[in-house]
Structure 1
Amino acid sequence: MLKKIFKKAGYTLLTIIGLLLIYVLAAWLLPYIPVNKNAQKEGPEEISIYIKTNGVHTDIVAPMHSPLIDWNTIVPFENTDSKDTTFQYASFGWGDKGFYLETPNWSDLKFSVAFKAMFHLGTSAMHVTFYKDMPVTEKCKEIKISMREYEQLIIYIKKSFQYDANDKTIQIITHNDGYGTDDAFYEAKGVYDLFHTCNTWANNALKAANQKACLWTALDKGIFYQYRKE
C-alpha cells in the first residue's frame, strides 16, 4: 500500500516539475518570437504612445487629450490626491489587486498574496499614473501609431476596466504610502495568474493596436526586446 502511495506521489512530483520546466522554457523562448513585426500600417503615424517599465511591470502610456478621447472622462484627475489638472499623459497598468494594494515594496510581499496571484485566485485592478512629460529612456520607448491603431488601443484599455450602473469606472479608494499623489486605482476585469500577468496585458495591448509585440510574455523584457535598437 505504501509503495503505491509513494509511487503516485513520485509521479505527481515529476509531473509538477515537468510542468514548471515547460513554463520556464516557454517564458524564456516565446518572448523572442515576434508578432506584427511586418504588419501593414493602418494610416499615417499621427500619435505617440509609450511603453514604460519600472524594471518589472510594463505600462502603456497615452496622451491625455486627442481627437479620439479625453482620458479625463474615464480616469478623472480629481481621483488623485494631487488633483492636478495639467497632466499631459496617463499610464495604464493592469495587474493583481493584492499585489498593487498590499505590496507597494517587494519587502511587503506576503506568501498569501503571491499564491493567490500566481494561481488565478485573486481579483484585478487598473493602476493609472499621470505625468506632465514623458522623456524617452531605456525604460520608456516611444511608439508612433495611426489614429486607427490608437482607436483599437483605446477600445482594449477601456474594456479592461469595470464600470458601474452609470457606465463610470469604479475607483478603489486607497491610503497607501507606497504610491505617489498622482496615482489612482480602479476595479478591473480579468484575473492575474502565471499565464496572464501585467506584462501579458501590456503585450496584448500592443497586439490590439497592430504594433510589434511578442507571441507571449510574462516579463517586461519580452516586450522591450521587440523595441531594442536595430
Structure 2
Amino acid sequence: MRERNSWRSIGRAAGVLLAALWLYGAAGALAALVPVQGAAAGPREIAVWVEDNGIHTGIVFPKALLDPDLVARFAAADLRDPAYAGHDYLAIGWGDRAFFIETPRWRDVRPSTVLAAALGSDETVLHVEHVARPKESIHVSRVMLDAEGFALLTAYLQTSLREGEALPGYEAHDAFYPASGRYSAIVTCNEWTGAALRRAGVPMGAWTPFSGGVMRWL
C-alpha cells in the first residue's frame, strides 16, 4: 500500500509539472502575439540583424557605429583566434551562464540545466561573436532602425554588460562576458532580445520567452 501511494504521489507531481510546462509554453506563445508597436522619430537607415539558432537569439551590431570604448571591451585577446576581431560586426546575446555555455545546440540541452535556469540565476553572461556582415536567411533577419532607436539599443547593450574577465566561447571567434540582470523563466535570453528591440522602437510581442516569438515579428 505504501509503495502504491508513493507511485500515486510521483504521478501527481509529474502531472502538475507537465501542466505547468504546458501553461508556460502556451502563455509564452500567446504573449508573443500581443503587439507592442514601435515608433520611429526619423528615417530608418541603420541596419542591425537578429539571428536565431533555435534556442538563443542575438543581435548583430556594426562595430563602426558602436562606441569605440564598448568595442574595445570585446578584445581580440579574448578570442582563441584573435584574427577574427578583424570582422566588422558583433553578434551579441544575453543569458544564464550555465545554460548558455552548456547548450550551444538542442542536443546539448539537459533537464537539470533548464530547471536551474528557470528557477532563476544572477550568473548571467553576454555571448559575443566577431562576425562578417550577416546574410539574411530563415534564421537571420535584418532590422532597420532610426538614429534614436539605435542609440537606445546600444544603451540597452551597455547596461547589460558588467566588469569582469572573459570566458572562452564555443569556437575561435567568440567569448562570454559577465553580464548584469537576473535570468529566469520570465526573463530569458529571447526576452532580452525582444525587450531590446521593443526599446529600440521595433514592433515586437509583449513577452518573448522563446526564439520563435522574437523571429515571427521580423
Say which SS state the counterpart of residue 65 (structure 1) adopts.
Answer: helix
**Paired position in structure 2 for 1:133:** 133
Q: Once the 2 structures are TM-superposed, how far is the Cα of residue 63 of structure 1 from its aligned partner?
A: 0.2
Taking a change above 3 Å as real, the CA distance of residues 110 and 40 of structure 1, as seen in their structure-2 partners, is: closer
Which structure has more helix as a fraction of its residues? Answer: 2
**Paired position in structure 1 for 2:116:** 116
Say which SS state the counterpart of residue 205 (structure 1) adopts.
Answer: helix
The list of structure 1 runs, each at least 4 consecutive aligned residues, that deviate by more than 3 angstroms after superposition, is 12-22, 103-112
**Paired position in structure 2 for 1:55:** 54
**Paired position in structure 2 for 1:207:** 198
Indicate which of 158, 163, 167 corresponds to 1:173: 167
Structure 2 unmatched ranges of 5 or more:
none
**Paired position in structure 2 for 1:222:** 213
Q: How does 1:133-152 map to 2 (within 5 A)?
A: 133-152=133-152
User: How many corresponding residue pairs?
Assistant: 209
Q: 1:46·1:146 contact (CA, 8 Å) conserved in 2?
A: yes
Say which SS state the counterpart of residue 200 (structure 1) adopts.
Answer: helix
Question: Could you tell me which amino acid in structure 2 is paired with residue 215 of structure 1?
Answer: A
String of CA shifts for 1:28-86, please: whole Å, max 9, x gaps. Answer: 211111112xx3312122311111111221101110112x5234223223321221242
**Paired position in structure 2 for 1:25:** 26
Q: Once the 2 structures are TM-superposed, how far is the Cα of residue 180 of structure 1 from its aligned partner?
A: 1.4
Work out the CA distance in 1 between the residues paired with 2:167 and 2:24: 35
Mapped pair 1:183 → 2:177: no
Q: Once the 2 structures are TM-superposed, how far is the Cα of residue 18 of structure 1 from its aligned partner?
A: 5.7
Q: 1:34·1:226 contact (CA, 8 Å) conserved in 2?
A: no
Say which SS state the counterpart of residue 171 (structure 1) adopts.
Answer: coil
Q: 1:119·1:193 contact (CA, 8 Å) conserved in 2?
A: yes
Q: How does 1:31-46 map to 2 (within 5 A)?
A: 31-36=32-37, 39-46=38-45
Structure 1 unmatched ranges of 5 or more:
164-169
Work out the CA distance in 1 between the residues paired with 2:104 and 2:214: 23
Work out the CA distance in 1 between the residues paired with 2:211 and 2:17: 26
Q: 2:45·2:144 contact (CA, 8 Å) conserved in 1?
A: yes
Q: 2:92·2:126 contact (CA, 8 Å) conserved in 1?
A: yes
Work out the CA distance in 2 between the residues paired with 1:146 and 1:48: 9
Higher mean C-alpha displacement, 91-100 vs 116-125: 116-125
Question: Could you tell me which amino acid in structure 2 is paired with residue 52 of structure 1?
Answer: E
* TM-score scaled by length of structure 2: 0.84
Work out the CA distance in 2 between the residues paired with 1:121 and 1:221: 23
Question: Could you tell me which amino acid in structure 2 is paired with residue 69 of structure 1?
Answer: D
Identity of aligned residues (%): 26
Question: Could you tell me which amino acid in structure 2 is paired with residue 103 of structure 1?
Answer: T
* TM-score scaled by length of structure 1: 0.80
String of CA shifts for 1:120-148, please: whole Å, max 9, x gaps. Answer: 14621110011122111121111111111
Q: 2:122·2:181 contact (CA, 8 Å) conserved in 1?
A: no
Work out the CA distance in 2 between the residues paired with 1:222 and 1:137: 17
